[in-house]
C-alpha cells in the first residue's frame, strides 16, 4: 500500500509525473521505481478521471473521501 500512497502523492504534487500517469500509468509507475499490484493498477485505471482534475481539486476530493489520509 505504501507505493500506492506514493503514486497518489506524486500525482498531486508533481505535474510531470501526473501527466505521465494520465498518458501511460504502467510506464509512469515503472519509471518512478514504484510497484503496484494488479488490483492497485486496476483501481488506478478506474480512477483516471480524477487525474484530470487540477491538483487542488484532486487534493480536496481525496481529503473529502478520506480526511485522515495520508496522516491517519
pLDDT digit string, tens, across residues 17-58: 988 888 888 898 999 999 999 998 888 877 777 777 787 887
Question: What pLDDT is recorded for position 57?
Answer: 87
Q: Give residue 33's pLDDT.
A: 93
Q: What is the pTM of this model?
A: 0.65
Q: What's the pLDDT at 31?
A: 92
Can you tell me the distance from the alpha carbon of 36 to that of 48, in angstroms, rounded to the nearest whole number?
Answer: 15
Amino acid at each position: 500500500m505504501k507505493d500506492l500512497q506514493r503514486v497518489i502523492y506524486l500525482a498531486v504534487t508533481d505535474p510531470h509525473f501526473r501527466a505521465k500517469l494520465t498518458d501511460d500509468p504502467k510506464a509512469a509507475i515503472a519509471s518512478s521505481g514504484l510497484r503496484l499490484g494488479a488490483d492497485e493498477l486496476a483501481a488506478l485505471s478506474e480512477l483516471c478521471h480524477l487525474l484530470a482534475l487540477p491538483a487542488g481539486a484532486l487534493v480536496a476530493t481525496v481529503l473529502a473521501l478520506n480526511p485522515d489520509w495520508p496522516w491517519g
